[in-house]
Structure 1
């Protein structure tokens, strides 16, 4: 259960990828949303996009986040199907009442409910929003998440529930780039994804200016929920308008492929995070990553191998690193990132969700580097 494409959301892509993998070994049905939020609560341009790659899953678009009648209908349909396991996402307070009520109702019928926790509480959430999110979590039978720090937080609140950890798998449904974007500089940096304050774009802009690289270019690709005017003013004030390209919208998968292909490094200067789908996408395209040293990112970024970690909210440290990077270094790191990403499979994650494997050992292997050396990727 969860949003699926064409809904514009990393969670939607995640739900679809997992459903496809589960369907290879289990009878699987998907219930999705016909509407996540009322239009006045969605600050973006639209909830949906027609720019996704092929491979969407078949789903029942029954749920409405603010219509309890659709919650009851969903529960009735799922009970009629009679599953052994229902998988639900947890990522935003707004849908916590719907998803929590559904989980509670299904568990009363003896159906196990596994929640995939993308965020235990909303980024930048008020206390009442956090309470709603925790209420949803309290209705789960068990949990799966993508980073150990978040798992520890969940276990502290729900010590009687099992929590399995598995790194965010690499999306493998993105199209191959066609090489339609020409390089504009010796070093190309990319910031990708929905722009929200916790993602630290302002930190990146300041760090990029401090790097004082005249041979570098920063491309920002993502829809702004808020702050686009502030961003443009900051770019102008820093005097970097001639070296920053702003694409303030949701882009199709085909367009995304071109931006990742042109980049040398993908930068995630986040202030806080519990995980990111941008890193596995970068790894899919063989691109090195610069990321804040946060638990949700450091679990999958091997410092000095697949990318580099920098102190959180430190534009000086970020600028120093960006100023020092060489293309020869980023090319090697990108090859290693691609090979490392191949170990983060949807098959392994699906086993964890289905309850047939424990991902904790895999995460320990990822974190400590015990998977062995990463071979160079052929350039042929």
Structure 2
């Protein structure tokens, strides 16, 4: 099958770009003819206040990748859609049998709609209005159907895209319910497969699935607690760093916290809250993109990763922590409720509740609790997870 994946990949950074790249590798390893169609300019810099690109790949780049799309060139949207439709039948040399449209943000909806316009045939399927849906099968792969922090225009923009696709793939049941409210197209659910990376996993000659990252010990020798916690990743309001800081102030007095990641919209409000809570000696802020080679040391120094999200769908950070043998303290939102086993390899608390999170941090440092959690941490079964995920992607539209 000829498959075109439209989405971000290297040199763009972050989990969605990593997932797009790994999806391409895994589909190619199954024998499909795969291309990644990506962005030369993804969106205006003013709309993303952090670092968009990196020099060192986060994993192995997919060789059959081109960059025809630009947010400021609407002609590039239409031209890509027409090229993927091909000059004739679905078996023609230029055509894609399946187009996977990676839905990242409503900001890109006009570009998606331009691509879908180019994909439309002269007549729609029987029973549908001609030209409503593309003549090629199009799967909308939604990492989040709608943003965590929404604007009024987001819902109609995303709905316009999803209604023109053949099927929609989401990662959780609540997201499936949300998608079904926006489109009559079939909606399928598959748990997001891990797309983990390390500095060692960057062989540019590789053409198959990503080599399995070096795994930290799931249950290494017992060690004394470092009294150090980690918050890792892009800092945005819905991720609840302010909740964690308030919990830290009310929790064990000698526990420290490292915050490593880009700060969406600036760091000053966080610095002010740290000072207000008297945590200046206990909180280390490490703003900016964290390169792959620095990730193992961050997790090795931490007793636990803390994910105090107010809302969420799926997070790769749980798998990343477990890959390094680190338990997770998280809130009961999205897939965190199932990927963290409360009292087994982590602790779960209600969202947006500093008192409950403070109590969980005190429990974490009760005698034997941390060691017991570390002993039960198991690395993710990456290959099995991807097998199921690919089956969902390739299900007929």
**What is the TM-score normalised by the length of structure 1?**
0.85
Q: Contact 1:96/1:132 (CA < 8 Å) preserved in 2? A: yes
Q: What does residue 34 of structure 2 align with?
A: 28
Asked whether 1:169 is paired with 2:174, we answer no
- Aligned positions of 1:292-307 closer than 5 A: 292-307=331-346
Contact between 1:305 and 1:333, CA under 8 Å: does it hold in 2? Answer: yes
Aligned to 2:128: none
| Alignment check: 8 A CA contact 1:287 1:338 kept | no
Report the structure number with the largest CA radius of gyration. Answer: 2
2:320 is aligned to: 281
Is the aligned partner of 1:210 residue 2:250? Answer: yes
Aligned residue in 2 for 1:154: 179
Q: CA deviation at 1:94?
A: 0.6
Greater mean deviation of Cα atoms: 104-113 or 232-241:
104-113
Unaligned runs of 5+ in 2: 1-5, 87-93, 122-133, 200-213, 217-222
SS in 2 for 1:309: strand
Is 1:8 matched with 2:13? Answer: yes
Larger helix proportion of the pair: 1
Contact 2:79–2:115 (CA under 8 A) maintained in structure 1: no
Residues 156-207 of structure 1 show CA distances to partners (whole Å, capped at 9, x for unaligned) of 333x4222222222224324499xxxx9972221111111111111111111
Give the secondary-structure state (helix, strand or coil) at the position aligned to 1:254: helix
Question: Compared with structure 1, are the counterparts of its residues 236 and 119 closer, same or farther at alpha carbon in structure 2 (3 Å cutoff)?
Answer: same
- Compute the displacement of 1:68 (Å): 0.6
Question: How far does residue 218 in structure 1 lie from its aligned partner after superposition?
Answer: 0.8
Per the alignment, in what secondary structure is the counterpart of residue 43 of structure 2? Answer: coil
TM-score with structure 2 length normalisation? 0.82
1:226 aligns with 2:232: no
Structure 2 CA distance for aligned equivalents of residues 204 and 50 of structure 1: 32
User: Structure 1 residues 99 and 277, CA, compared in 2 at 3 Å: closer, same or farther?
Assistant: farther
- Aligned residue among 73, 85, 97 for 1:84: 97
Aligned counterparts of 1:232 and 1:162: Cα–Cα separation in 2: 46
Residue 237 (structure 2) aligns with: 197
Give the match for residue 269 of structure 1. 308
2:157 equivalent in structure 1? 132
Aligned CA distance change for structure 1 residues 31 and 342 (closer, same or farther; 3 Å): closer
CA-based RMSD of the aligned residues comes to: 2.5
* Number of equivalent positions: 351
Any residues of structure 2 matched to 1:298-377 within 5 Å, and which? 298-326=337-365, 328-334=368-374, 336-342=376-382, 345-355=385-395
- For residue 72 of structure 1, the aligned residue among 78, 84, 89 is 78
Give the Å deviation of 1:311.
Answer: 0.5
- Residue of structure 1 in register with 2:299 after alignment: 260
Q: Tell me the secondary structure at the aligned position of residue 7 of structure 2.
A: coil
Counterpart-to-counterpart distance in 2, 1:119 and 1:320: 31
Structure 1 residues 36-93: Cα deviation after superposition (integer angstroms, max 9, x where no partner)? 112232211x310124344111311111123211112212332343121111111311
Contact 1:148 1:295 in 2 (8 A): no
Cα deviation, 1:5-44, whole Å, max 9, x if unaligned, reads 2212221111111111111111111101111112232211
Q: Which runs of 5+ in 1 are unaligned?
A: 358-380
23-32 or 273-282, which moves further after superposition?
273-282
